[in-house]
Amino acid sequence: MNGRLAQASIYGIAGTALFLLLASGFLLAIGRPPFVTLVTMAGYAFGDGYSISESLVKATPILLCAFAVILPARLGLISVGGEGQLYLGALAGTAIVVGYPGGPMFALLPAMVALGAGGGAIWGGLAGVLRARFDVNETISTLLLNYIAVLLVNYAVYGAWKDPASLGWPATIQFPPAATVPSLLGTRVHLGFIVALIAAFVLHVVVTYTRWGLELRILAGNRKVGAMVGLRFARNTLIVMALGGALAGFAGICETAAIQGRLQSGLSVGYGLTGFLVAWLSGQHFLRAVPIAILVGGLIAAGDALQLYSKIPSASATVLQGLLFAAALAASGLAARREARRG
């Protein structure tokens, strides 16, 4: 066991080194000193209280979208639908705010959050139904549903929900205070982050120690054996997809209500895709996803800061994410291959 752990950390270190090498190569290619830039980025990500809070703000939707990948992965499904579920959650949650902007907080806030989670659950559940009922590959359906969800939000904010006072900017009305997710200690970090941490813990306990978690493991390992002992793949597919979707939808409505204050086009900067990356880096593990999401959230926050102060476009953060993903896949792939060879 110890040897295996040591081996895993060797590949972890090798993966990190490979990423730093690739990242330096990219920074050199765009004419930036790699070492200085990387240190500056670390400073922008976690250098002071404000940077840390900005990193946590970014980490919140990323972490929730990672859960929307990890939970289906526990059943052996590969969902890339976090982005679409996030958008649909934002859309569904906003509906009640646009409909009853004057509602009292005790009714409006819970209804908004519930609808947001419900919207995400429907979008995730749709891919789940298609997989369970018609054997449609969930990776392809979630990828296509992402594009549809983004267009549906555009349809709403360019159309019926557009605030006439926003002077042509495609966005809904400003959310009233009664529909604002509370923030923590006067920072921009909001309650969604705490919910995500609790969700990480609860989901980890549930999939590790409960009967249902065992059920998922059996079905993921061998569906035929699962069916023989009376486990239902179809029903569990629907559950994990809908539950994962609910978490991503919750992320969407939190991002809308707490950070941006209104539903607007382009509400997510690829949080769903980044969540997918985090889920894979964590080895589809709920607790390990937390620190990784915070680190990657820091990378994105630093990308924003770089754009502001050093005029490096934030698209460079997307490139760095891609390099990080490639390095991690290379390292973990080689590790698994080595493991298999040892038998």
Partner 1 sequence: MLRSSTPLLVVTLGETLTQRVGIINLGVEGQMLGGACTGFAVAAATGDPLLGFAAGAGAGIVLSTVHAILCLVCGANQIGSGIAVWTLGLGLTSYFGRAFIGGKVTGLGALGGPTVADIPLLGPILNQLTPLAPAALILVAAAGLWLYRTSTGLNWRIVGESFETARAIGLAPLFVQLQGIIVGGLLSGFAGAILSVDYTQTWANDMTKGRGFVAVGLVIVARWNPFFVLPVVLIFGLSEAATLRLQAGGLTLSPYLIGCLPYVVCLLCVVVASMREDRIGGMPAELASVFGRRQRAR
Q: Could you list the residues that contact partner 1 (CB under 8 A)?
A: 30, 76-78, 80, 130, 134-137, 139-141, 143-148, 151-152, 154-155, 158-159, 222-224, 273, 276-277, 280, 313, 315-323, 325-326, 329-334, 336-337
41 neighbors 178 (Cβ within 8 angstroms): no
Q: 73 vs 254, which CB is nearer to partner 1?
A: 73
Q: Provide the minimum distance between the beta carbon of 14 and partner 1 in the complex, in angstroms, as a whole number.
A: 11
Nearest to 81 by CA among 207, 244, 218: 244
Nearest to 271 by CA among 161, 179, 196: 196
Q: 92 vs 199, which CB is nearer to partner 1?
A: 92
Alpha-carbon distance of 326 to 280, in angstroms, equals 11
Q: Provide the minimum distance between the beta carbon of 104 and partner 1 in the complex, in angstroms, as a whole number.
A: 33
Q: 47 vs 76, which CB is nearer to partner 1?
A: 76
* Residues pairing with 264 in the sheet: 171
Q: 154 vs 174, which CB is nearer to partner 1?
A: 154
Q: Each residue of 122-144: b (16+ CB within 10 Å) or e?
A: bbbbbbbbbbbeeeeebeebbbe
If phi > 0 it is left, if psi is from -120 to 50 it is alpha, else beta; for residue 180 that is beta
Q: At what angle do helices 233-254 and 271-281 cross, to 10 degrees?
A: 120
Alpha-carbon distance of 136 to 144, in angstroms, equals 12
Q: Provide the minimum distance between the beta carbon of 36 and partner 1 in the complex, in angstroms, as a whole number.
A: 19
Q: Provide the minimum distance between the beta carbon of 223 and partner 1 in the complex, in angstroms, as a whole number.
A: 7
Alpha-carbon distance of 25 to 178, in angstroms, equals 49
Q: Provide the minimum distance between the beta carbon of 76 and partner 1 in the complex, in angstroms, as a whole number.
A: 6
Q: Provide the minimum distance between the beta carbon of 199 and partner 1 in the complex, in angstroms, as a whole number.
A: 23
Q: 136 vs 234, which CB is nearer to partner 1?
A: 136
Q: How many CB atoms sit inside 10 A of residue 318's CB?
A: 16
Q: 146 vs 268, which CB is nearer to partner 1?
A: 146
Q: Provide the minimum distance between the beta carbon of 53 and partner 1 in the complex, in angstroms, as a whole number.
A: 26
Q: Provide the minimum distance between the beta carbon of 226 and partner 1 in the complex, in angstroms, as a whole number.
A: 11
Cβ neighbours for 48, distance < 8 A, ≥ 6 positions apart? none
Alpha-carbon distance of 237 to 221, in angstroms, equals 14
Q: 213 vs 270, which CB is nearer to partner 1?
A: 270
Q: 130 vs 242, which CB is nearer to partner 1?
A: 130
